[in-house]
Amino acid sequence: MLTGPHADAVRPAMIARRSGHILNLSSVAGIRVGDAGGVYSATKFFIRGITDSFRREVGIAHGIQVSMISPGVIDTGWADKVSNAEGKRIAQDLNEDAIHPDHVADAVVHALDQHTDVTVNDIVIHPTRQDW
């Protein structure tokens, strides 16, 4: 079940209304593990699992929409923050074909802009040239 202070603040109202929308942001790394990305991927596989659990616990039982966006490499400037020299080179190479954050925002809007009896379960969005 949804837990934590934020969930505790909204869950009762959503259940009482029998409506609402929960949207989790994951990653393509939650679908396929990249080189040396096991730990990061594990966190994204967790998001996939918990989102599916939310769908079953509050979506089916209470009519709350639960969606997930799984983007690939996004041009957020993250590659410039990597401190390890080899890691930075790899990150910069990946980032060359990164998609603009606006494209991910468009996917979020699409997921949220659905009639209350429709749920977009998962949108996977990544650079066309991304190889994972």
Residues assigned a catalytic role: 40
For residue 24, how far is the Cα from the chain centroid?
A: 5
Q: What is the CA radius of gyration of the chain?
A: 17
Nearest to 24 by CA among 131, 121, 130: 121
- Alpha-carbon span 6 to 126, nearest angstrom: 29
**Quick one: DSSP state of residue 45?**
H
> Residue 11's CB: how many other CB atoms inside 10 A?
19
- Alpha-carbon span 43 to 30, nearest angstrom: 8
